[in-house]
Amino acid sequence: MFDILDTVLEGARAKGAPDVEVFAERSSSRRIKVYRQEVEQLTAAQRRGLGVRVFSGGAVGHAYTSDLGDAALDAVVQRAIDHAAVSDSDEFAAVPEPAGEPADVHPFDVRLTRATDERRIELAMSVEAAALAADPRVKTVEDTMYADGDGEVFIASSAGVRGSYRANQCYAFAYVLAEEDGQVETGYSYTVGRALEELDPAACGREAAERACRLLGARKCPSMKAPVVLDPFVSAAFFGVLSSALAADAVQKGRSLFAGREGRQVAGEILELVDDGTLADGLDSAPFDGEGTPCRRTPLISGGVLQGFLYDTYTGRKAGRGSTGNGVRGSYSGLPGVHPTNLVVSGPATPLADIIDGMERGVLVTDAVGVHSGANPISGEFSVGISGFLIEGGKLTTPVREVTLAGDILSMLTSVRALGDDARWVPGGSILTPSVVIDGMAIGGT
């Protein structure tokens, strides 16, 4: 693959564009859906392509192609040059320079390459079977999925960046419908790893079923201002939205609620938030990011005080500092953007049972609908639909649904009062978080 990258670098130089970066990937993946103990869908995929960034006097052009033939390579270089010609110049835009040795991270497990379709199907079926067996009120498992991916990325630039690595991962997921007295409730769970041996299909199916069944009988509760406990799934969704405001591009462009608050108290003082692209068990760990910058650990909030932001090369230059290794690329067709790797929420842990035991009146939130559409990361305001349980006199009492939880992210962060002892990885953004207790939230019901 590096010979293709070199062809592109040389082609660009020949066309009078010496400052160039090329990013290529090739990958294969499997996705299996089962329904009622039959394979519903099996997808096998091969994917490859490359993207070219041309830097011309501070103006950036990007182009991509899935065709790696000579004519297509020539065309993609020309397009990147043409795109740079219409982009506006920016003094901080330049080819990323080499930024040190890759992080000591090995996101590849050879065991996954030995997985057969038979084993994959068996695993997906055992997830569904566990969900169906967990409770007679499970009506159906609407979605049971197993998926894995194995990909190699390559980067080379005229500034001397050169690297590649291979990464793989697998996961299984179940989405369960439970029904009782005509009422339907839903629940889901995941299991993730880098080898089939690391997945726990029985626990995944069982938990999805439990999360659905325990909500049966849920109804609206009265409107109130009360403390809430966000379980790890819900907490991860909120920290996912919040993390976009910790990206330096949002800060520099005036659309972050954290702008100008570095060094200030932005959260309850027990709260620690770290971005760490080097964790052995983090699914988004890698030796380097989409610009070749080594991944690292970056403290964001410590003792409730905002420590800093996430940077790629461009935003780092603009701020007079280096990249934090957060120039993330979704695929070869995308430009690098500032995104978290693995986010870790931590702090002194209190047993979850003690937290609930000590609460006179509140809500345990186990599902939030509309966090991505109902939360505005620019204004920080959010209002989402939630399901969960009323906490009364230190006990979980009735399940609730069709109520809203509203507020703004900054007030919510500063009202974080305690953290549970139930930290777990939640995929979808790769976030490790326990349950989070927040005081004085607005619950909208009857």
Partner 1 sequence: MEDRDSLGLRLEDGRVEQTSGGREVGAAVRLLSGEHTYYAYSDALDEAGMAAAADAVAAAVRAGDGGSAVIDLGPVRSDPGRHAVQVPPETVAIARKAQLVRAGNEAARAAGGEIVQAIVGYGDTRQKVLIANSLGDLVYDDRTRTRFTAQVVARRGDVIQTGHEAVGGSAGFELVDEATARVVATTAAEKALTMLDSRPAPVGAMPVVMANGFGGTLFHEACGHGLEADAIAKGASIYAGKLGEVVAAPIVSAYDDGSLPNGWGSQAFDDEGVPTQKTLVIEDGRLTGYLYDRLRAREAGATPTGNGRRQSFRHVPIPRMTTTYVAPGDATAADIIAATPRGFYAKSLAGGQVEPASGNFVFGVAEGYLIENGRITSPLRGATLVGNGIDILMRIDMIAADFDVKTGVCGKDGQGVPVGTGQATLRIAEMTVGGTG
What residues between 250 and 269 interact with partner 1 by CB under 8 A?
253-255, 257
- What's the min distance (Å) between Cβ of 41 and partner 1? 4
DSSP 8-state symbol, 346:
E
Q: Is 197 in the site for partner 1 (CB under 8 A)?
A: no
Segment interacting with partner 1 (CB under 8 A) among 177-185, 192-200, 320-328, 347-355: 177-185
* Burial of 415 per CB tally in 10 Å (0-12, 13-18, 19+): middle
Angle between helices 70-86 and 2-14 (to 10 degrees): 50
Is residue 339 a contact partner of residue 329, using CB atoms and an 8 Å limit? no
Q: Which residues inside 210-239 make contact with partner 1, applying CB under 8 A?
A: 220, 223
Q: 348: Cβ–Cβ under 8 A, 6 or more apart, which residues?
A: 270, 419
Q: Is 84 in the site for partner 1 (CB under 8 A)?
A: yes
Tokens at 219, concatenated: 């109804």
Q: 3: Cβ–Cβ under 8 A, 6 or more apart, which residues?
A: none
Segment interacting with partner 1 (CB under 8 A) among 102-110, 126-134, 196-204, 375-383: 375-383
Q: Which is nearer to partner 1, 254 or 393 (CB)?
A: 254
Q: Which is nearer to partner 1, 346 or 411 (CB)?
A: 411
- What's the min distance (Å) between Cβ of 79 and partner 1? 6
Q: Which is nearer to partner 1, 61 or 205 (CB)?
A: 61
Look-up of token digits 């500063």: 414
Distance CA 127, CA 205 (A): 5
Q: Which is nearer to partner 1, 15 or 47 (CB)?
A: 47
Segment interacting with partner 1 (CB under 8 A) among 68-76, 122-130, 269-277, 289-297: 68-76
Q: Is 305 in the site for partner 1 (CB under 8 A)?
A: no
Segment interacting with partner 1 (CB under 8 A) among 34-42, 190-198, 357-365, 391-399: 34-42
Q: Which is nearer to partner 1, 29 or 302 (CB)?
A: 29
- What's the min distance (Å) between Cβ of 36 and partner 1? 9
Q: Is 142 in the site for partner 1 (CB under 8 A)?
A: yes
Tokens at 446, concatenated: 């009857």
Single out the residue of 5, 22, 24, 62 in contact with partner 1 (rule: CB under 8 A): 62
Look-up of token digits 């380097």: 288
Q: Apex CA 64: angle with CA 82 and CA 108, to 5°?
A: 150
DSSP 8-state symbol, 100:
S
Distance CA 87, CA 79 (A): 12
Q: Which is nearer to partner 1, 22 or 345 (CB)?
A: 22
- What's the min distance (Å) between Cβ of 170 and partner 1? 16
Determine the size of the site formed for partner 1 (CB under 8 A).
79
DSSP 8-state symbol, 310:
B
Single out the residue of 97, 198, 402, 422 in contact with partner 1 (rule: CB under 8 A): 402
Q: Is 83 in the site for partner 1 (CB under 8 A)?
A: yes
Specify the pairing of strand 337-338 against strand 327-328: antiparallel
Single out the residue of 4, 22, 24, 60 in contact with partner 1 (rule: CB under 8 A): 60
Whole-Å CA distances, 150 to 98, 110, 113, 153, 204: 26, 10, 8, 10, 23
Q: Is 13 in the site for partner 1 (CB under 8 A)?
A: no
Angular region, 308: left φ>0, alpha ψ -120 to 50, beta rest: left
Q: Which is nearer to partner 1, 175 or 425 (CB)?
A: 175
Distance CA 111, CA 258 (A): 43
Q: Which is nearer to partner 1, 3 or 86 (CB)?
A: 86
Single out the residue of 2, 35, 92, 108 in contact with partner 1 (rule: CB under 8 A): 35
- What's the min distance (Å) between Cβ of 240 and partner 1? 15
Single out the residue of 78, 346, 383, 414 in contact with partner 1 (rule: CB under 8 A): 383
Q: Which is nearer to partner 1, 65 or 191 (CB)?
A: 65
Tokens at 52, concatenated: 């070219």
Where are any strands of DSSP class E within 181-293? 183-193, 224-230, 272-276
Give me the DSSP letters along 309-349.
-B--HHHHHHTTS---S-EE-SSTTS--EE--SSEEEE--E
